[in-house]
Structure 1
Amino acid sequence: MMLRLLRDKSILTAAFHKPYNTSTLEGRSFERKRRIALTALTSAVLRILTMAVPLITLRITYDYLNAEVYGLWSAVTTFFALFAFSDLGLGNGLQTKLSQANGKDDIVLCRKIISNTYIVLFLVALILLTAFFSAFWLVDWASVMNAQTQETINIAASIVFVIVIPKLISIPVAIIQRTQLALQEGYRSDIWGIIGCIVNLVFIVIIAKLDLGKVTLLAFTSILPILFSAANMFVYFGFQRKDLRISFRLFEPETAKSLLSLGIFFCILSVLTTLGLSMDTFIVARTGSLAEAGSYSIIYKVAAIFSAVVAILSAPLWGANGEAIARGDVQWVRDNTRRMSLIMVSISTLLVLVGLLSAKFLFRIWLGPDFEFSLPVLFWISVMQILLSFISPYFMVLNALGEIRVQIILFSIYTPLSFVLKYYLSAIYGVSVVPMIGAIFYLLIIVTGCYYFSNKQLAKREGK
């Protein structure tokens, strides 16, 4: 089955085909596949680099920062993953609304959606930056992050600063990726990301070898993505798609209100998913130690390789689904979703098996014989990656339809239940309980519910 899927000619060769005539149903179907394949190829290269660069530099950064500072970095990054919802869900709302407008071939509406989104997010970033600067000096960050050595206590606040400020500045800038994905041009963002990864690799080595400072290293890795997103945004609206250029004159309260209305639901969903899926390292840091949190973070990064196919193939599906549904091509969405889900599960399962069998050998090479890790933790994190691979295409269906309420309901059950159990049981039974609880409840609640409701909504659109 696996080999048959990989030999699928329409997937492997579509990216190299010239653009299809989109005036026909068949042409639109082939063009969507071409763009999905093209974005998938560039995303594959980017994903390989985004995983390879941290792994290649892992020994350098781990040795240079030491276990305690590395754990502090991981804990701060995980804690402030909550800023994922600081755009009020407008990035997701943009992707849904813009893909639908693109399906209607309405350039004027596309430009209004883009302009209103960027203007609102620019204002949001200003407000959050002001609020953070006001509160930063009042918080004992060393205590919040459970810093234990004198070094981490001394630099805890600095690390928080250099991580959070770039995240806030990036709120309006990083939306360029969402814009291009909605228009099925995600490969453009990928190309900029590929260049950024190469630059990041070079400068991490330089900073560590020249001993320019631990905070300097972390600051550079935080700021770099913003610089390349800004460059992408300038080139895209300035040269590649002048017809979509942002204009303050296009700001309309009603358009902004409509985007915010949908965005708020995405924002709530983002909060719930972040708390449910992205707080594990923080939980380990609080119930265990920063050293354990650092080890857990490294295991999670390695396991993320197993679900790389999710990011590679899912990203272009949202925009393609939205455009197809707007045109009434619902059957294409149904068939393509099933097919992509099968491909993702097949590939990620194979990667999981290879990873589990070679984990000890790989960790010994990368981090040396003194690095300790938990095989049960790696196993359960890997199970979660397979579950994510299966259900991700169905999330893209619900997102393209704008059906967010059902996802909120599902995560409203999953997130508090799993979070509380992870936090308290890990303090009693150890770190391996954290990913185990996450995977089991994710299967029972999220996977089952999302699969059912996405198919139900597609059947409704077909009038069945």
Structure 2
Amino acid sequence: MTLDVSKERTRNYLQQIKGAVVYKAVAMLASFLAIPLMIRYLGQEQFGVWSTLLTVMSWIVFFDLGVGNGLRNKVAEALARNDRKEAADYIASGYSLIGLIALALWVLVTGVSFFVPWQTVFNTQGIPEATLRLTVQIAVFFIVLNFWIGLISALLGAVQKTAMAALGQLISNVLALLFVFVLTKTTDTAISYLALAYGLSLVTANIVLSFWFFYQQNCDLRPTPSLDKTHIKPLLSIGLKFFTIQLAVLVIFSTDKMLITQLFGPEYVTQYDVVFKLFSVITFAHTLISMPLWSAYTDAYHRGDMAWIKRMLHKQLIIFIGVIISVIVVGFLARPLIAIWIGREIDVSYPLIIAIGLFVLVSAWNNIYAMFVNGIGDIKIQLYTAVIAMFLNVPLSIIFVKYLGLGLSGIVMATIVSLSLAAVALPIQVNRIMRLGVKVVSA
């Protein structure tokens, strides 16, 4: 029976990758086509503001207190024990809790938006204060709504259907491309219109996925209003650890664009964003290979199938060699590719390209081990390294830029140094668990 389960887990893992490859490829193509359209529609400065705004607004997602990731683990554990009733109870409590948090966040952030000097925040005088405020309010509404209905991604991961989450991204990106194209043909430059188009594309995708999951596949898991303490407490217990890690990641990555905006100006965010977008081909490819393993590791671990886990970790290290080669190739071709894709008006430096290439390598390496520890819920080491990295990133960025003169690439190098702590600690932790060959944490 264990061998059959192991084979089925591997078969499903490969199936999810195949499906995700197709969906991600189309989603990435749509995203790449949308970038030059948005830059031409808004101009470099307004696009830099838009990119920074999305980064700041993404902070809202982290206020789920890690419930999404906790829900993913708890539902996966319950399903590994064939206890669908418990899975349904966790889903009901998770949706109810996040719904209340989302409502509170929408009221709070929308109210505060009237008192924030947005032109100062985004370091721009090119967009009227009222327009910036309206844009923020539109973005907040849709992001908070998606904050709630976006829990479907965690559930798709829990049932090891990550390809469907990739389908959701495809739907969102294609809709965004269509909406932006329509805007370029029918309206004058208006960042608030872009916020509306982005929000509609985002929530539509998750509504489609939710309907498929709850009404076509898993009617017995459909959420009902419930705040059961016996399920809220475990969700928050592991969720708060994930939340702290997410908060650290938020500071590390989101503040990079804010630092660039303040130290160099919003137009430099466009350079940074374009190079990151180019290397995202590699990041997306590696993510679609590794992400299905999160809940697969949960399932294997709680069934005691350590042999399967060891095989998968070994294969991920082999795949990492391909990531290294891909980064080198993209690095050499980056400038001509950007010239073809965006145009020659975007001039990026080789130090920035090299720095972002190194960042992709460190992130992919960490991701190999993070998927396993996330899956089994043993995330203390990851928590500690993330918190330390959070406190290191901003001062290191300032030192690298102002005192070492590394320019824009200094921001990325500071992130790399911060992430290097996990790059050393996580492999040591995973190897220790593999040597023990038994569970070292409780479910």
| TM-score calculated relative to the size of structure 2 | 0.94
Correspondences of 1:23-422 after superposition (within 5 Å): 24-149=1-126, 151=127, 153=129, 155-211=131-187, 213-248=190-225, 251-343=227-319, 345-422=320-397
Deviation for aligned residue 1:152: 5.5
Deviation for aligned residue 1:334: 2.1
Residue 192 and residue 409 in structure 1: after superposition, are their counterparts in 2 closer, same or farther (change >3 A)? Answer: closer
Correspondences of 1:428-443 after superposition (within 5 Å): 428=403, 429=405, 430-443=407-420
Deviation for aligned residue 1:463: 7.5
Distance between the aligned counterparts of 1:352 and 1:272, measured in 2? 26
Distance between the aligned counterparts of 1:184 and 1:170, measured in 2? 21
Aligned length, in residue pairs: 437
CA contact (8 A) 2:80 2:303 kept: yes
CA contact (8 A) 2:294 2:372 kept: yes
Deviation for aligned residue 1:231: 2.2
Residue 386 and residue 228 in structure 1: after superposition, are their counterparts in 2 closer, same or farther (change >3 A)? Answer: same
Give the counterpart letter for 2:376 in structure 1. Answer: L
Unaligned 5+ runs, structure 1: 1-23
Distance between the aligned counterparts of 1:218 and 1:172, measured in 2? 18
Deviation for aligned residue 1:454: 2.0
Residue 173 and residue 263 in structure 1: after superposition, are their counterparts in 2 closer, same or farther (change >3 A)? Answer: same
Give the counterpart letter for 1:89 in structure 2. Answer: G
Residue 205 and residue 26 in structure 1: after superposition, are their counterparts in 2 closer, same or farther (change >3 A)? Answer: same
CA contact (8 A) 2:97 2:227 kept: no
Give the counterpart letter for 1:223 in structure 2. Answer: L
Give the counterpart letter for 2:248 in structure 1. Answer: L
Distance between the aligned counterparts of 1:342 and 1:391, measured in 2? 14
2:408 partner SS: coil
CA contact (8 A) 1:88 1:267 kept: yes
Distance between the aligned counterparts of 1:463 and 1:350, measured in 2? 35
CA contact (8 A) 2:297 2:375 kept: yes
Residue 463 and residue 324 in structure 1: after superposition, are their counterparts in 2 closer, same or farther (change >3 A)? Answer: closer
The answer for the alignment partner of 1:16 in structure 2 is none
| TM-score calculated relative to the size of structure 1 | 0.89
Distance between the aligned counterparts of 2:130 and 2:104, measured in 1? 28
CA contact (8 A) 1:308 1:348 kept: no
Q: What whole-Å deviation, never above 9, does each CA across 1:174-195 have from its counterpart, x for those lacking one?
A: 0101101111122233333323
Give the counterpart letter for 1:52 in structure 2. Answer: L
CA contact (8 A) 2:30 2:173 kept: yes
2:291 partner SS: helix
Unaligned 5+ runs, structure 2: none
Deviation for aligned residue 1:69: 0.3
Deviation for aligned residue 1:411: 1.2
Deviation for aligned residue 1:461: 4.5
Give the counterpart letter for 1:370 in structure 2. Answer: E
Give the counterpart letter for 2:150 in structure 1. Answer: A
Distance between the aligned counterparts of 2:211 and 2:17, measured in 1? 24
RMSD over aligned Cα atoms: 1.9
Distance between the aligned counterparts of 1:188 and 1:200, measured in 2? 18
CA contact (8 A) 2:295 2:375 kept: yes
Moved more, 454-463 or 36-45: 454-463
Distance between the aligned counterparts of 2:199 and 2:365, measured in 1? 31
CA contact (8 A) 1:321 1:400 kept: yes
Task: Determine what percentage of the aligned residue pairs are the same residue.
Answer: 22
CA contact (8 A) 1:376 1:432 kept: yes
Q: What whole-Å deviation, never above 9, does each CA across 1:1-59 have from its counterpart, x for those lacking one?
A: xxxxxxxxxxxxxxxxxxxxxxx122111211122112212222232233322321222
- Which stretches of structure 1, 4 residues or more, deviate above 4 A after TM superposition? none
Distance between the aligned counterparts of 2:344 and 2:163, measured in 1? 40
Q: What whole-Å deviation, never above 9, does each CA across 1:182-238 have from its counterpart, x for those lacking one?
A: 111222333333233323222221111222643212321133111220221123112
Distance between the aligned counterparts of 2:200 and 2:174, measured in 1? 15
CA contact (8 A) 1:75 1:281 kept: yes
CA contact (8 A) 1:310 1:388 kept: no
Distance between the aligned counterparts of 1:157 and 1:448, measured in 2? 43
